[in-house]
Amino acid sequence: MKLTETKNGTIIEIHVKPNQPQFKILIEREDVVVFSTEDPIKGRANKEIVKELTKIFHANVELISGSASKEKRLIVNGLGKNDTAEILAKNAVLQ
C-alpha cells in the first residue's frame, strides 16, 4: 500500500474504477483499488469515495489531488500509518 504518514494524518494513494456494481476496496500487491458505484461526472465518484472512506476510518477523509484522474491521493486526518493500513486491510478484498 502506498501510505505516507504526515503530521496531520496519513496520505493514501488509490486507483479508482468508477461505475461499478458495488463499492469495494481491493488490495493488489502495493496498489489500493477502489470500486465506485458512481459515474465520474460532476465529482460524484469523488464524493462517494470520501463519504465511504470516512465511514470506514471513522475519521475525516479529504481528497488532496487527482480530482479529475483515476489516480487519487487522499488524507485520513488524525490516523497514523499503521492504523490506516490495519483498517484498510480489514475492509478490503485482498488479492
The one-digit pLDDT tens for each residue of the chain (95 residues) are 899 999 999 999 999 999 999 999 999 888 999 999 999 999 999 999 999 999 999 999 999 999 999 999 999 999 999 999 999 999 998 66
Helix axes 44-57 and 81-91, enclosed angle (nearest 10): 110
Three-state secondary-structure class, residue 67: coil
Report d(CA 92, CA 48) in Å as an integer.
16
- Check: pTM over 0.85? Answer yes or no: yes
